[in-house]
Chain A
Amino acid sequence: LAKTTQPISMDSYEGQEVNITCSHNNIATNDYITWYQQFPSQGPRFIIQGYKTKVTNEVASLFIPADRKSSTLSLPRVSLSDTAVYYCLVGDRGSTLGRLYFGRGTQLTVWP
């Protein structure tokens, strides 16, 4: 499974747009890119999944360049409640192996 690299931490202020970039140089043809969010004392929560170009939902946007060796999660106009750990995962969409590989993630702290 493709290894991912993302910043350990990021800081932002309320109302700003936050972009978290994840590197996955060894991504395979069948791999999708998935992002999860985890608040303290809660399990991770699925945010968004994509294969190429751009995906947008009510929570975030995911930008994937043509070579797919990286991806960027974009959170528009963050609020204090967006403070959480964000995980980037790469793997087969069906994840037939069962497991998901979570790294240390990116701790996003939003300040007032």
Chain B
Amino acid sequence: GAGVSQSPSNKVTEKGKDVELRCDPISGHTALYWYRQSLGQGLEFLIYFQGNSAPDKSGLPSDRFSAERTGGSVSTLTIQRTQQEDSAVYLCASSLRGQGGIQYFGAGTRLSVL
């Protein structure tokens, strides 16, 4: 596709349920990033992939959060046993290798945990 695609655009779930968020990066971009943005806040880094490897997972807030990337393309962010504080917009970005200062973002998935 022409840009970074994220799905679903909106997700409402009940506390304690698991959710999966999907990111389809720009074709040819080897680097992929996940961020989280709470209302009125800046972006919080979660995890970074180079190819299928995740050299930096330090931003994941707890062991309920995990992410994987397969085939050097699509990535899935999974949140297990969701909590109300997980409610936020989850943003995915991709970049060319060695050009991590210029990231291209998707529109995000707005997660609401009731």
A: residues with CB less than 8 A from B are: 32, 34, 41-46, 49, 87, 89, 91-105
Contacts and interface: CB of A to CB of B under 8 A. Distances in A.
A96 B92 CA distance: 17
B45 A42 contact: no
B91 to A, nearest CB: 5
26 contacts: A34-B102, A41-B107, A41-B108, A42-B105, A42-B107, A42-B108, A43-B106, A87-B42, A89-B101, A93-B99, A93-B101, A94-B100, A94-B101, A95-B99, A95-B101, A97-B56, A97-B100, A98-B55, A99-B45, A99-B48, A100-B100, A100-B101, A102-B35, A102-B42, A103-B42, A104-B42
A44 B105 contact: yes
Q: Interface residue tally of chain B, by bracket? A: 20 to 34
B65 interface: no
